[in-house]
Amino acid sequence: MLVETYDPFNNLLLSSLVAAVPIILFLLCLTIFKMKGIYAALLNLVITFFIAMLVFKLPMGESVGSVIQGSIQGIWPIGYIIVMAVWLYKISVDSGKFDILRASIAGISQDQRLQLLLIGFCFNAFLEGAAGFGVPIAICAVLLVSLGFKPLQAAMLCLIANGASGAFGAIGIPVAITGTLNLEGGVTAMDVSAMTALTLPIINFTIPFLLVFLIDGIKGIKETLPAILVVSGTYTVTQAIITVFMGPELADIIPPLLAMGLLAVFLKKWKPKNIFLLNGKEVKIEKHSTSDVIKSWSPFYLLSIFIFIWSLPPFKALFAEGGALAFTKLTFSIPGSSLSSSIDLVSATGTAILLAGITTILTTESINFSHGFKLLGRTIKEFWIPIVMICAILGIAKLMTYAGLTSALGEAVATTGAIFPLLSPILGWIGVFMTGSVVNNNTLFAPIQATAGSIIGVDSALLVSANTAGGVMAKLISPQSIAIATAAVGETGKEAELTKMTLKYSIALLAFVCIWTFILSMIF
């Protein structure tokens, strides 16, 4: 906070109401006024700027500096990661590797309950980790439809499955971004990542059971129980270990790959009593050699290897102050303000993905650098608007933090006292429902959660993780997710129907997160 007081009216209720204007207006723009996200973000950036400067008395230089700092972080590292992740996916598709990869998954079993676990759950989670931003829902829903699932059914199943992976989409950005927000109490992204391991594993373990139940009831669960346990157990335990000891970056990369691989091996020795077919007939799957299948996965092996190296403490130490590569971190003051920013040229996660993409091109005959860089240009062209939106939202978050708006809101919500942790996930749920993004949600509301935690004496990292978990449950019904899902399966215009199909599961999962967070708040 760079102002003398977060209560310019000497009335906390009035000050907090004014501080809430950017958030309330943002929600109204997206719902009542039905504005596009980019326009809503830019309009609210302007309004927040004037509220911060004129009402909360943040000096002009600091106000401009806040927006510049947020914009820089929106481009680097966040935008950098987004572009690199989607670029690697496009390389995989255009090189033909992705078609082979898809066939290799679908060909493991003809039982469509098991195909749902492989594609709807495991592959969905992996794509969420590798690309995110609607890619997993779109691709996996189409894959399931090609295997005989009804369009809206496939969309619903993929949306529900995404509840197990949405917190760590696109190389862990939703959690990683909390480390850039200067949260109250010095909460880091690693703190939040570790705290998610108290809540998300319970949900992760349950969702594969729910998916099978939705297409074949209790009978289906009984007949496929060993396979479900392989997937649920492997994914849940592995992700919990990674989030606690390594951080968020690989939490949706290694666990789904490992779960998928172990299930494939397991199914060579075990078969369900009955082969479940939705339409009563098998779908023919093109066969590929083991060599081709292994090669088809290479972009994602490389992605995992490079990100693993980038997450190792000895590697990170190279870029710390006094480290051999510390010079690759460009730190600079923002003119006219007391703020500074930095750009990590090499240690940024985006660079790890960039190297995975370059190595994939070098080792793939069917694609060259000329075509690869055309894909990069296309990716930048496709994502510049979402990145500008992220920059605007980060600018809003910085203004709210430095001008004291976040502190005012935190003080106000903290007046609910010990009951606040019960309501904390709902704030995240609302944020994602309105913005369609756990990244945007955490950017807007994580500072409020952290401030409230400090005031009421609850671990701030717990409340930020609750904000994340609650937000993930809204991905099942956020207008952005619903629009992507219906468009992918050719059912545009049936958004209301799909929302109705997923709403009860979103509410039920949110209710669990609220109650569980409240219980945890009495411990931490």
Pick the closest to residue 117 from 249, 197, 225 (CA basis): 225
Residue 495 pLDDT class (50, 70, 90 cuts): confident
Specify burial of residue 171 (Cβ count, 10 A radius: 0-12, 13-18, 19+): buried
Tell me the pLDDT band of 441, cut-offs 50, 70 and 90: confident
Report the phi/psi class of residue 171: left, alpha or beta, with left for phi > 0 and alpha for psi in -120 to 50. Answer: left
**pLDDT tens per residue, range 315-349:** 989 998 889 999 999 999 999 999 999 999 998 88
CA dihedral of residues 296, 299, 301, 307 (deg, nearest 10): -170
> Hey, what are 433's tokens?
């429902």
* Greater model confidence, 205 or 503: 205
Weakest-pLDDT range from 59-68, 286-295, 407-416, 511-520: 407-416
DSSP state of 76: I
- Of 413-417, 432-436, 474-478, 516-520, the range with the lowest mean pLDDT is 432-436
Instruction: Give the phi and the psi of residue 289 in degrees, each rounded to 5.
Output: -70, 155
Q: Which range has the worst mean pLDDT, 110-119, 346-355, 487-496, 505-514?
A: 487-496
Q: What are the pLDDT digits (tens) for 500-521? A: 888 899 999 999 999 999 999 9
Which position has the higher pLDDT, 243 or 495? 243
Give residue 282's pLDDT: 67
Longest dimension (CA), the chain: 72
Report H helices in 133-199. 135-146, 151-161, 169-176, 189-196
Q: Mean pLDDT, to the nearest integer, of 471-482?
A: 84
Of the ranges 55-69, 401-415, 467-481, the best mean pLDDT one: 55-69
Pairwise pLDDT comparison (489 vs 510), residue with the higher score: 510
| pLDDT of res. 152 | 92
Considering only 160-164, 299-303, 500-504, which range has the smallest mean pLDDT? 299-303
Q: Confidence class of residue 281 from pLDDT cuts 50, 70 and 90?
A: low
Whole-number pLDDT of residue 214: 95
Candidate from 146-160, 244-258, 409-423 with smallest mean pLDDT: 409-423
Distance of CA 63 to the CA centre of its chain: 29
- SS3 annotation, 458-510: CCHHHHHHHHHHHHHHHCCCCHHHHHHHHHHCCCCCCHHHHHHHHHHHHHHHH
Dist CA 246 CA 189 (whole Å) = 11
Q: Give the pLDDT score at 59.
A: 96
Cα–Cα distance for residue pair 512/510, rounded to 1 Å: 5
How far apart CA 13 and CA 290 sit, in angstroms, is: 65
Written as six digits, the tokens of 420 are: 């606040």
Cβ within 8 Å of residue 261, ≥6 positions away = none
Contact predicate 128/136, CB 8 Å: yes
As a whole-number percent, the residues of the chain with pLDDT over 70 amount to: 97
Residue 356 CB coordination number (10 Å)? 25
Query: In this model, does residue 184 exceed pLDDT 80?
Result: yes
pLDDT at 308 over 80: no
What confidence score (pLDDT) does residue 90 get?
87
The predicted pLDDT at position 485 comes to 81
Q: What's the sign of the alpha-carbon dihedral 206, 252, 383, 395?
A: positive
Predicted local confidence at residue 146, as pLDDT:
77
Nearest to 119 by CA among 150, 171, 161: 161
Both structure tokens of 309: 């190296």
Identify any residues that bridge with 333 across adjacent strands, giving them in sequence order. Answer: 340
User: Which H helix or E strand runs over 26?
Assistant: helix 21-30
Write down the pLDDT at residue 211. 96
Q: Give the chain's mean pLDDT.
A: 88
> Which residue type occupies 271?
K
Express each pLDDT in 3-39 by its tens digit: 889 899 999 999 999 998 988 887 788 768 877 778 8
Q: 270: which 2 tokens?
A: 């075990």
Structure tokens at 18: 């004014």
Nearest to 478 by CA among 448, 446, 439: 439
Token code pair at residue 418: 């010990």
**One-letter-per-residue 3-state SS of 263-285:** HHHHHHHCCCCCCCCCCCCCCCC
pLDDT over 70 (residue 51): yes
Euclidean distance between CA atoms 344 and 358, whole angstroms = 19
DSSP 343: E
Give the burial class of 25: count Cβ atoms within 10 A of its Cβ; 0-12 exposed, 13-18 middle, 19 or more buried: middle
Helix axes 151-161, 495-521, angle to 10 degrees: 20
How far apart, in whole angstroms, are the C-alpha atoms of residue 475 and residue 161? 10
pTM score over 0.85: no
Q: Given pLDDT bands bounded at 50, 70 and 90, which one contains residue 195?
A: very high
> What token pair was written down for 220?
């289906």
